[in-house]
Structure formats: C-alpha cells, structure tokens
Amino acid sequence: MSYAFTEEQLLIKQNALEFAKEYLDPIAMELDHSAKFPAEIVKKMVAQDLLGLFLPGEYGGAEAGFVAFIEVIEALSGSSASVAAILLNHAIAAYAIEHWGTKEQKDNYLPALVKGEKLGALAIYENGPMLGVGPDTLVAEKKPEGYVLNGVKAFVRNAGVAGVYVVLATTDPTSNGKTLTAFLVDAKASGLKVGAAKESMGLRGCPMADLTFENVIVPESAVLGAVDGGLALATDTLAVFSLGEAAETVGIGQAAVEHAAAYSKTRVQFGKPISTLQAIQTLLAEVATDAHVARLALYDAAGLFEEGKPFQTEAAMVKAFLARFGSKMLLDTVQIEGGFGYSEFMPLPRLFRDIAGTTLLEAPAEYPDKTIAAALLA
C-alpha cells in the first residue's frame, strides 16, 4: 500500500524535521552522555504546539490528528529519541485523560498539559510478576476521604519532571491483578516520593525512576475511568503507546540507514568507495526495506486509530515486526560502518542503545503475540 499524507501532515513533518535539525542534532550526543533532562528543548516544543498536537482545540490542542503526531515522533527520533520519548510519554498520559477522563478532569489537566505547565507520565509497571501482584504492588484502599495509595511503581518515564501521573493500582491485592483502577495523582501529593534516577542503556535524556507511595491520599474524583476498570484503560493506552514506540523505532532506523549510506560513499577501500561492494549494497537494501515495511504498517495502524476504527491487532503486528527487526536495522548499519561505526564519536552506538529501549521497554514482550492470536482465533 502507499499511505497518502495530506498537505497539512506533510508540512507538520517537515517542520518537525527542521526543528530536529536545528535544536536536537547539536545536543543529541551530549544529552546521551549527560542524561540531563532537556528543559529548554521542552519549552521549544511547547512553542511549536507539539505537546498538544492531537488534543482537541477546546483545551488548547492543535487538533492535527494522530497520524501527524506519529510523524513528529518519527522525525524527532531520528535526531534524539530521548526527546521523542519525553514527548511520547507526556502525550499518551494526556491521551488517557482526554479519552477516559471526566469533564472536570479534562478541564483541570489538559490545558496545563498543552501549555507545558505540567508534563504527563504513565505509572503503570511494577517490580512483581504482573500488575497487582507482588510485595510492592500499589494498593488503593478505600477510605471516607477517598483512596489511600501505598506501594511502588517501577521504571516510570518522565519521573521527577512530570506534574501529573496516570497511575494504576489494585483495590484488592488478593484479586491476582483483576481489580485495577487508574488514578490521577499530582506530583506534589503528600507521601509521593521519586526515587533515584535509573541509569539506562539508551533514551538517557528521558528521566526514569521508581515512584514510592506512602499513604498518598487522593479523592474519589481522582479516579480515571471506572473503578476496577483499569485493565481496559491500560490495554487501550498501551496499544496507542505501542504505535508511538514504533514511530521512534522507525525514525531511529531511518536515521541509521541514511548515515550508513552516506558513510559508505566516503569510506574508501581497495581504491574505491565501499558503497560499490555488493555486500554493502545488500545490507543497505535489507535495512532500508525493513524500515520501509515497518513505516507502511505503522501509518496504516495510526490511520485506523485516527479514523476511530479497530487498530489494536494492527498495532500489535507493528510491534511484533519491530521486535524482530528493529535492532537488526542497527546491527546491519553498524556492520556497514565497521570499526568507525562502533566508535562513540559516531551516532550509531547511541541509536543502537535507543532502539533497544523503543522495542523492549513499555509493552510486555508477550503482548503482541497474544493480541494477534486472539484476533485470529476469535
């Protein structure tokens, strides 16, 4: 298939590519080394309306659509997947509020998220074998004043810089993870503590830490969606999230292809550029094909979501494909560039580390296969 972009979508992607070239390319390597949160870049993204790109206009959003948002994530990821990850985590938290929230919750949070007055973050995962199971699982106990939250959420992206967290907790720790409820928790809530920053292999500019809840009291109005309806919210949100991750992966892979192709034309061996060698051309063709096929599937699924059609199976297929071929794109391009490509003064090692995060971190490894099989066997 060939996905036809509108003029507006093409303009948005071009603007994102120019933004990335001007502001992200100069800092990408330093950001990877320092792991320092790029606050000034976030301010520049606010000025470009990127924080509310696909949110409704009534809350200050740009109403550009989800496909345009995916274009932006792909474009930014080619320069700095860390910055793209900050935006993605923020935007998906905002999506959860916009899609599942009450009018009061939307009015309270979405304008601030669009303006960058608050960043959003998802706090879904835990250290146990599954959500709602384990010694540190986050438990929400019903009290007259609302709910009291105790426990730990693990590997939270945007932790420490977010202003609001979309948090999943169990209301019954004996239910084996069947009674999950989502809550909106303000970052300044008494008893909420952000742990030490976790050093990660890639996406290092996007903060990651555990959140500890010690008798954090939230009112009943903080429930996002239905009580004990958190599993449906998480399933929907992670499916949308997986498309954003796929856009990161495709953007990184495309950047690696372009860098390796350009390098092959300048690297001379045996008196001629290595781009003339059949083995190099084969590797370039394979990695370019992987990126192209993944991009077509990605925008097909994103288009379905934007049109309000079922998209979960297609999203799972995209994630399954990139789980197999995402890192291979970087293996092939590093092989093209040889020892130089393996050196830290070149971009491929950073891209390699980042792409591992985009294919492994957010959605459970078994999620794509289970989703695809369930659709086939229904």
**Please, are residues 177 and 115 in contact by the beta-carbon 8 Å criterion?**
no
Residues whose CB is less than 8 angstroms from the CB of residue 157 and which lie 6 or more positions away in sequence, other chains included: 85, 86, 89, 121, 122, 206, 207, 208, 361
Q: Is 362 a catalytic residue?
A: yes
Pinpoint the alpha helices (H) of 207-277: 230-266
Q: Which tokens hold the place of 1?
A: 């298939």
Q: Residue 129: is its pLDDT beyond 80?
A: no
* Residue 193 reports pLDDT greater than 90: yes
**DSSP code, position 270:** T
Domains within the chain, CATH numbers bracketed: 7-118 (1.10.540.10), 121-228 (2.40.110.10), 231-377 (1.20.140.10)
Name the active-site residue from 18, 258, 362, 366. 362
3-state class of 36 per DSSP? coil
pLDDT at 17 over 90: yes
Q: Please give the Cα distance from 274 to 173 (Å, whole number).
A: 60
| Strand 139-143 with 180-186, pairing | unpaired
- The per-residue pLDDT for 341 is 66
Write down the pLDDT at residue 361. Answer: 64
Picking from 112, 3, 7, 107, the residue whose alpha carbon sits closest to that of residue 64 is: 7
pLDDT of res. 364: 46
Written as one letter, the residue type at 314 is E
Question: What is the rounded average pLDDT of the residues 26-42?
Answer: 95
pLDDT in tens, 269-310: 888 888 889 999 999 999 999 999 999 999 999 999 999 999
Rounded Cα distance between 74 and 291, Å, is 11
Checking if the pLDDT of 1 tops 50, the result is no
Report phi then psi at 256, rounded to 5: -65, -40
At residue 189, what is the residue type? A
Q: What is the average pLDDT value for the chain, to the nearest integer?
A: 91
Average pLDDT over every residue of 70-76: 97
Q: What average pLDDT does this structure show over 120-131?
A: 88
- 301 φ, ψ to 5°? -65, -40
State the pLDDT at residue 365.
44
Q: State how far the Cα of 100 lies from the Cα of 45, in Å rounded to an integer.
A: 25
CA angle, residues 254, 113, 69, in degrees to nearest 5:
25
Query: Any idea which of 26-30, 70-74, 364-368 has the lowest mean pLDDT?
Result: 364-368
Report the SS3 class of residue 230.
helix
For the record, the structure tokens of 287 come out as: 């990695």
pLDDT digits (tens, 9 = 90+) for 306-329: 999 999 999 999 988 988 888 888
What percent of the chain lies above the pLDDT cut of 90? 71
Whole-angstrom distance, CA of residue 236 vs CA of residue 362: 13
pLDDT of residue 343: 73
Helix (H) or strand (E) holding 12: helix 7-19
3-state secondary structure of 175: coil
